Amino acid sequence: MMSELHEGGCACGAVRYRTVGQPVRAGVCHCRYCQLRTGSAFGVSVYFAQDNVTELSGAMRDYTFHTESGRAFTTRFCTTCGTSVFWRLEVFPDLIGIAGGTFDPPTFWFDVTREIFTRTRAPFLTHDLPDSSETSASYVPGGAVSGGT
């Protein structure tokens, strides 16, 4: 169904992608990693099953780091303009995160129903989301992840 297709890309237009269907989840994250990844007060994260995302064009580069919980966080960004487009979190191995602002207009077509890591939310932001958490269910302080490295 055409209404289930959405496309987007990076700032320079080199990277283009298409999604099919609705996201598995969409939310606002105020964690320090998303603040650094976006250069802003929060990140808008739209997660799809990996089979519902197609990379159409453009060269991307990966950068992987480990969170405080010891889990891998891999961002994928355009090699030309540097726009962070995708990411994968070890805690969600079958999902691809997409930066909400990279979808073509209407950019924010998806329902955002949750926010996480509100403990580091910028004090000038207010929210009206039904699901709000100071951290995340997957957060383990100090890297004490069972079976992790």
pLDDT digits 0-9 by tens, 65-87? 888 778 899 999 999 999 999 99
Cα separation values, 10 from 58, 72, 80, 88, 147, Å: 9, 23, 9, 17, 36
Q: Within 10 A of 45 (CB to CB), how many other CB atoms are there?
A: 23
Residue 137 has pLDDT above 70, yes or no: no
Residue 57 has pLDDT above 50, yes or no: yes
pLDDT band at residue 148 using 50, 70 and 90 as cut-offs: very low
Cα separation, 148 vs 116, in Å, equals: 22
Q: Which two tokens stand for residue 103?
A: 């979808």
For 32, the 3-state DSSP assignment is helix
What pTM did the predictor assign?
A: 0.82
Q: What is the pLDDT of residue 126?
A: 78
**Mean pLDDT, the chain, as a whole number?**
85
